[in-house]
Structure 1
Amino acid sequence: MGNKVIIIGAGPAGLSAAITLAEKNIGVVVIDEYLYEGGRLLGQLYEETPNKWWNGIAESERLLARAKELNVEFSLQTSVSDLEKIDQDWVLHTNKGVFHTKQLLLATGAAESPFPIPGWTLPGVMSVGAAQVMTNVHRVKPGKRGVIIGVNVLSSAIAMELQIADVQVAAITLPAANLLTINSSNPLEVMNSLLYVSHMAPSPLIKIGSKFMKNEILKKLGIRFYPKDGVKMWGIPIMLRKAVIEIVGKDQVEGVVLATVNIDGSIVPGSEKRIDVDFVCIAGGLYPLAELASLAGCPFHYIEQLGGFVPLHNEQMETNLTGLHVAGNITGIEGAKVALAQGKVAALTIASKLGASVTQIDIQQAIENVETTRANAHIQFHPEVLVGRQKMKEIWAQTLSHTLS
């Protein structure tokens, strides 16, 4: 096992990297804790342009077929509990034994950030990603009629997927303001993030209106006069002036209590109103799933534009620890296509270290492909992702100069 590259994570970054390495005749083992390969791809289904769909399941099947054709080895339902460096080897402790490798790629992806709301422990409350997996992977409806709490790029995309599956979404609304929902409960902050998903809206009026909303004065006016009952996208009211203050029900979700909010997110007293639903999705956004990099001893930096704490890495997807590489959402929250492109960069970097026929031009072209893919991304999870990427470049350069001095 020690002479094979190990990749943790069978999502888009991991599969892309595995294929690239195997094409260079390098042995690969891909470890994942889930039942199937594909990661977050398995839940994705959205229209990129009129009549052109991104089907994550079809994409994962295509990647998996190519990986198996190249004899990539998979170890599924395998959880990594510890990670350490012993001599020149990375040693992985799992529920299926100990794995050794000299070159390790962490492609662990992202996890969801929930936020607490009174009643959130009732059966029928779930993360928006769980609703996506239930619907698109397992073909089970999360309920008949629900509410999504949290207005952001992720909730907007998944709401559309639920509608396609004939699941009624009564509204996408804000959470009530508390210490854990500071940005997601502020109508102005939320409108900023929505501007980067407006191109997905079926209404030309919303698409045109979003261009005007990039002016700060017009934005504040837009929030002030935003309809209390929301603006509909795909027939779903997007409510920037309503917040869920409580989820109600005896033995399961039976409804939510909505209240009108002022432009600063504060509740308007006496505006509470109950609506009936049988499920609730909480959409608090995504953060890089980077615990294994932490166990390895990799330094971290908090970069808000990348979704939180991100392991130190360079454009070649190397960390500052010999033999440890990262790719995909562990490096910052972006879409599957960016993760696919990053996986290729990481694989080429690893292959060059192992003596395969890879030139610096090959690696540079792959890096440029990541940048092009990012620039053309259909969905941007953070409007200032380029700022975040630049920050990481600067931190890496500073770290390198300190090391050399």
Structure 2
Amino acid sequence: MQQEISFVEIAVIGGGPAGLCAALEAANAGARVVLLDRQDRLGGQLIKQTHRFFGSRSHRASERGINIATELTGQVISHPLIEALTGATVFGFYEDGVLGVEQEGRVFYLKPSRVIVATGASEKTLAFPNNDLPGIYGAGAVQTLVNVYGILPGKRVLMVGAGNIGVIVTYQLLQAGMEVAAIVEAAPGIGAYWVHAAKVRRAGVPIYTSHTIKRACGGREVEGAVIWQLDEQGQPVPGTEKDFAVDTICLSVGLSPLVELLAQAGCRLAYVPQLGGHVPLRDANLQTTVPGVYVAGDAAGVEEASAAMMEGALAGLHAAYSLGYGRAGYEARRRELQHQLDSLRSGPVGKRFAPGWPGCWPARVWEVKVMLAVDGIPTPEDLAAKTPPPERLAKGPVVIAECFQPIPCDPCSHACPRQAIGPFEDINEIPQVDYNKCNGCGQCITRCPGLALFVVDLTYSEKEALVKLPYEFLPLPAEGQEVAGVNRAGEKVCRARVVKVVTTEKMDKTAVVWLAVPKELAMEVRHFVITHV
């Protein structure tokens, strides 16, 4: 019996950040959209992302991914031109442009005029002895367990991979109450933003660069792990083994674009390592080599969620425009979205995309400082460059911006009412504090996605200094409580006293804790633990 085919204007495959923005942009232009997502709820990776986003205001900087997911999902579900189907798996993309879909045991077929593929990426794995033991997870699975379902995968974990995902998930596991034995990274330096690595280092997590996992230990489940060092050629060095007693191993070793449907559709693919693997060729409008088929997000090349949202919006705009919608404001909107996407890719972090497709990325060249702090600990030279002059410290509280890496992020430049930081001419500028304008109010502290802003007041008392720092762990300390002051390497260096704890709904779960510390340690204490020294 021949199946009936439903004709639709635009089908968006994937309900993650790229798919949600693609559907909204196309529908806002006037096109009718069917959004298909195989999960039982929309949002994709956003529903797992409890951390704050980088970027600018237009990229939703300083907002948490879970909040962005709620907002975008609400807009999609309530939009009169969008039909959102969850639990709907697209199992086929046929030569005639028909999509085969299964939803709750029902099979049906769609024939869209335009298709936007935003299927995301899958996690890569790693081969080592016993890598099939229970207790070994991908980072995405761990995020789902912890941040979506509130389930801890174990008590003590070894993280393999120091890219942004590995370091972010490490921090989230610490927040959830797990102990992290270490982070292991095969490369000679971390791939994550330095500020992400600095957060976990302050929390006492060591990062072993030029190391990899040798084997997992255990019979029926993970009971330990052995790592070893790699030489300059990436070969293991016998005799450098280190043993860890862990019950969980988390792998964060990269993502591969999910391009199977694009391949079925006949889109031409090419292997681009910088983008995660095989990706579809596409033009500046994100249209693939098959007319009417567009791609966005990690399916087009693995990037940050902010870039995926911009790509999704661009794909939705172009797809709707090709059907005759949104022509009045098309050019202005296209320029706006393209500018936002280019700004995310404009700095040295975006340079890895340069070998991608000509015309899609700016060709700006940056002089990039080689970071000696390969494991997240700044060098003395870095710290000296960020320390206010003694005469300013003697006048009262002042902000110290411990952000040393040019990354696409500028919330701090908008947070200060006195414009002591910024405004930035470029989103990748490293924050510089105008000490003549800064009065140490600390309003910028909770706006920094990297938690890299601190206030130091050496005039607090004769023997003590006041350090105001961001804190995202529970339970919060009580005013007057004695805690252990911790340095940038996670080492307890002094007794400290909690003077005040500031937390409001507007601060969105980032508290500011005021610590009284010995004056001579004011430039060292950057965290604390609720225990005695």
TM-score, normalised to structure 1, is 0.79
Instruction: Provide closer, same or farther for how the CA distance between residues 391 and 244 of structure 1 changes in structure 2, counting only shifts above 3 A.
Output: farther
Contact 1:314 1:393 in 2 (8 A): no
Contact 1:9 1:107 in 2 (8 A): yes
1:325 and 2:263 matched? no
Amino acid at match of 1:198: W
Per-residue deviation, 1:25:
2.7
Alignment-derived partner of residue 42 in structure 1: 47
Alignment-derived partner of residue 36 in structure 2: 31
Alignment-derived partner of residue 212 in structure 1: none
CA distance in 1, matches of 2:86, 2:166: 29
Alignment-derived partner of residue 125 in structure 1: 136
Question: Could you say what secondary structure the match of 1:2 adopts?
Answer: strand
Instruction: Provide closer, same or farther for how the CA distance between residues 321 and 60 of structure 1 changes in structure 2, counting only shifts above 3 A.
Output: same
1:144 and 2:178 matched? no
Contact 2:39 2:86 in 1 (8 A): yes
Contact 1:316 1:363 in 2 (8 A): no
1:108 and 2:129 matched? no
Contact 2:160 2:252 in 1 (8 A): yes
Alignment-derived partner of residue 293 in structure 1: 262
Contact 1:44 1:54 in 2 (8 A): no
Alignment-derived partner of residue 62 in structure 1: 71
Question: Could you say what secondary structure the match of 2:69 adopts?
Answer: helix
Superimposed CA distance per residue, residues 332-383 of structure 1 (whole angstroms, 9 cap, x where no aligned partner): 1111111111111111111111111323343233222211233479xx5x75
Most deviating of 146-155 and 29-38: 146-155
Amino acid at match of 1:68: I
Per-residue deviation, 1:310:
1.0
Alignment-derived partner of residue 313 in structure 1: 282
Most deviating of 39-48 and 267-276: 267-276
Contact 2:130 2:217 in 1 (8 A): yes
Structure with the bigger RCO (C-alpha within 8 Å, sep 6+) is 1
Instruction: Provide closer, same or farther for how the CA distance between residues 202 and 260 of structure 1 changes in structure 2, counting only shifts above 3 A.
Output: closer
Instruction: Provide closer, same or farther for how the CA distance between residues 245 and 92 of structure 1 changes in structure 2, counting only shifts above 3 A.
Output: same
Amino acid at match of 1:81: F
- Aligned length in residues: 344
Per-residue deviation, 1:53:
4.6
Contact 1:306 1:389 in 2 (8 A): no
Superimposed CA distance per residue, residues 376-403 of structure 1 (whole angstroms, 9 cap, x where no aligned partner): 79xx5x7512342438789xxxxxxxxx
Alignment-derived partner of residue 197 in structure 1: 193
Superimposed CA distance per residue, residues 27-62 of structure 1 (whole angstroms, 9 cap, x where no aligned partner): 11111111110011111122457xx85422211110
Instruction: Provide closer, same or farther for how the CA distance between residues 241 and 19 of structure 1 changes in structure 2, counting only shifts above 3 A.
Output: closer
Alignment-derived partner of residue 94 in structure 1: 101
Alignment identity in percent?
A: 30
Per-residue deviation, 1:108:
0.6
Per-residue deviation, 1:159:
1.1
Alignment-derived partner of residue 134 in structure 1: 145
Contact 1:341 1:373 in 2 (8 A): no
Contact 2:267 2:290 in 1 (8 A): yes
1:388 and 2:356 matched? yes
Question: Could you say what secondary structure the match of 2:125 adopts?
Answer: coil
Question: Could you say what secondary structure the match of 1:390 adopts?
Answer: coil
1:170 and 2:181 matched? yes
Contact 2:53 2:65 in 1 (8 A): no
CA distance in 2, matches of 1:391, 1:352: 20
CA distance in 2, matches of 1:279, 1:383: 34
RMSD: 2.4
The structure with the larger Rg is 2
Instruction: Provide closer, same or farther for how the CA distance between residues 389 and 198 of structure 1 changes in structure 2, counting only shifts above 3 A.
Output: farther
Instruction: Provide closer, same or farther for how the CA distance between residues 301 and 255 of structure 1 changes in structure 2, counting only shifts above 3 A.
Output: same
Superimposed CA distance per residue, residues 195-223 of structure 1 (whole angstroms, 9 cap, x where no aligned partner): x51133437xxxxxxxxxxxxxxxxxxxx
Question: Could you say what secondary structure the match of 2:358 adopts?
Answer: helix
Contact 2:16 2:118 in 1 (8 A): yes
Amino acid at match of 2:352: E
Contact 1:304 1:388 in 2 (8 A): no
CA distance in 2, matches of 1:391, 1:371: 11
Most deviating of 257-266 and 70-79: 257-266
Superimposed CA distance per residue, residues 91-121 of structure 1 (whole angstroms, 9 cap, x where no aligned partner): 1112232122111110111111111111111
Alignment-derived partner of residue 73 in structure 1: 83
Name the structure where helix makes up a greater proportion of residues: 1
Amino acid at match of 2:121: A
Contact 2:52 2:65 in 1 (8 A): no
Query: Could you tell me which of 361, 364, 389 is aligned with 2:335?
Result: 364
Contact 2:174 2:180 in 1 (8 A): yes
Alignment-derived partner of residue 19 in structure 1: 24
CA distance in 1, matches of 2:91, 2:39: 14
CA distance in 1, matches of 2:316, 2:347: 23
